[in-house]
Amino acid sequence: MKSFVSYLYKNQDLFYKVFLFLLTTFLIVYLFPKGGKFQYEIPKGKPWQYENLYAPFDFAILKSPEEIAAEKERINQEHIPYYEYKDQVAAEVTADLEERFSETFPDTLTPNQLNQLETFVDQTVEDIYEYGLIQEIVPRDPDQLVFLKKGNVASEIPYERIIKQNELRDFLNKEIDESQLQLFREELVGLFFDTLRPNVSFNEKLTQDELQSRYDQISYTRGNIERGTIIVAKGEVVEGNKLQVLNSLKAEYESQVWSQANYNWMILGYSLLVFLALLMLMLFIKKYRFDIFQNNIKVTFIFFNLLLMVLLTVLVIKFNVKYVYVVPLCILPLTIKGFFDSRLGLFTHVITVLLLGFIVPDSYEYMFLQIIAGIVTILTVSELYKRANLFITVGQITLVYIVSYFAFTVIQEGSIYEVEPETFLMFLFGGVATLFVQPLIYAYEKVFGLISDMSLLELSDTNSKLLKELSDKAPGTFHHSLNVANLAEAAANEIGANSMLARVGALYHDIGKMKNPTYFTENQTTSVNSHDELSPKESAEIIIEHVINGIEIAKKRNLPDRVIDFIRTHHGTTTVYYFFKKEKEINQHADPDDFRYPGPTPFSKETAILMMCDSVEAASKSIKEPTSRLIDDFVEKIINKQMEEGQFLNSNITFMEIQLVKKVLKRKLKNIYHLRIEYPE
């Protein structure tokens, strides 16, 4: 058993993905409309556009949903629920009270007091369990009648006679006051609360069986239509009884086409197709986006968006299939691209369109239009954080919809006169709805803890309140952060990491230095060093504390968690080497852990890049007479030491990528320290 639990714990990520996969499959199949499709669209409140319709077979006229709902509501109002009374619980509680009574009340009390208390307890228990105690789940009207079933006998009583658990304290206090036992209130209440247990529960099965029995007696039909009878004539307005007869014919048609056996096979077919489609998406993520596959939150986010688009489309189809193109399906690739990348966005969009092709009318036309629109979305949108780009992309998507629909209509009808102008309006509404992607991305950031380029762009503004505060309080640190941001951005671009994220992380990684700015050399403007009056250990504590202070400031200013990760990891678990060496000069047995940053070590390419850039930029200030060879050796020495200490073991950065980062840092530092020729005066 222990090994099985250990196996489950070790593979919990995999089990979660399997659960998510199966749950999504189930929900999509559940959402899909099932049954045969009636060959006519029923235009409620509009003229019948088809030829005269005659009854193809005998069928009954169904009552309207409103009529059925009214009958069920009447039954619900008249129906009396059943509650189960358990005698055994009451007997057990009485026995427990007798045992605990002597433990609760000491022998020092007078016989009269003990007798009075014992009588009170017995009478109170009898009163409580006369009709029972219930842990109320479904609140009911106190005057409502219910059946209380004791054994095989059910008695009809007002619901208020059953004591609710949340009313127990008030009931006990009232009884204690009436019995003049206020002196023992705390002991009595504690005794009852430790001992009493609910013994009445709602008998849902019996209640539902009784309710269903009454439902089964409802007649769902009123009258019949014989075969050959005219149902509706061409041009006749479909409303009232005509509408109900047409709906009855549609229901009868679908029930005849789909028997129970057909229905089960259809569910199996839907399940297999949805399973295969989602499996392709999962395999794609695992093979080509393994970092996303390892993150359950990101996988959940992708499947949630896919399910959301299916849900919206199904709801619109159930409302009116004519509005199917109002659903802004292109929000899906826009959102996925905004948080991840174009390839994953397009693949997810295609899988979603394939799933929706099962349930929409003119599925080939629908799928063609949506896939083309998705491709245009992915190819045209860039820098989503720029509002103009989003409007341009939405305009292009709408244009593609209109042109494609026009082409299909001309092919099918052979004339431009059959084009429906209102469909163009649907495309326009769908395009406008796509603009909702920006607030949606903002909401996703808060719910799923993700961060988009739009938020990163806002954070990268050096005129933001927090960065201006850093510039005022610690100008040297601010300048250092700018330099590190430039280095980190260049390095991230070189290895294909998120350069915007790396830049933002670099800008904020040292905000903790605002608390004690003069204890950091870049902010010291005089020859006085604040560390001269401190021991090496005290100095190291202040230096290390800037990481903790930075995290506190970042959380207080509501910085995203992914940015806070840079503050936590930019020193990893390295030591404050300068003060450690000073301490060793005083104490040979100095503990390096006293001078070690709390960590954790970097756990992404971007945080690993920041650690390298931060160390190299800070240490480069110590180079007196820089040369090309000196800079190369300097960069190699610092980064190799970090590798030897295992600082990059938890980040998914490769040795080749580290070499590329080194190359960028060497090139950038050489540009920074490039010596110009000395101009004559």
pLDDT single digits (tens) 252-274: 765 655 556 667 777 888 889 99
Three-class DSSP labels, 69-117 = HHHHHHHHHHCCCEEEECHHHHHHHHHHHHHHHHHHCCCCCCHHHHHHH
Q: Report DSSP state, residue 625.
A: S
In this prediction, the residues of the chain whose per-residue pLDDT falls under 70 are 1-9, 34-46, 108, 253-262, 381-388, 412-419, 527, 674-681
Q: How far apart are CA 550 and CA 251, in angstroms?
A: 66
**At the topology level of CATH, where does 453-672 sit?**
Hypothetical protein af1432 (1.10.3210)
pLDDT of 40 reads 66
Q: Which element (helix H / strand E) includes 61?
A: strand 59-62
pLDDT of 348 reads 94
Query: How crowded is residue 389: how many other Cβ atoms within 10 Å of its Cβ?
Result: 14
Strand-pair category, 200-202 with 221-225: unpaired
Write down the pTM of the prediction. 0.56
| Domains of the chain, residue spans | 2-35+260-448, 77-211, 453-672
pLDDT of 675 reads 43
C-alpha distances in Å from residue 340, one per residue of 260, 344, 419, 442: 44, 7, 39, 15
pLDDT of 387 reads 62
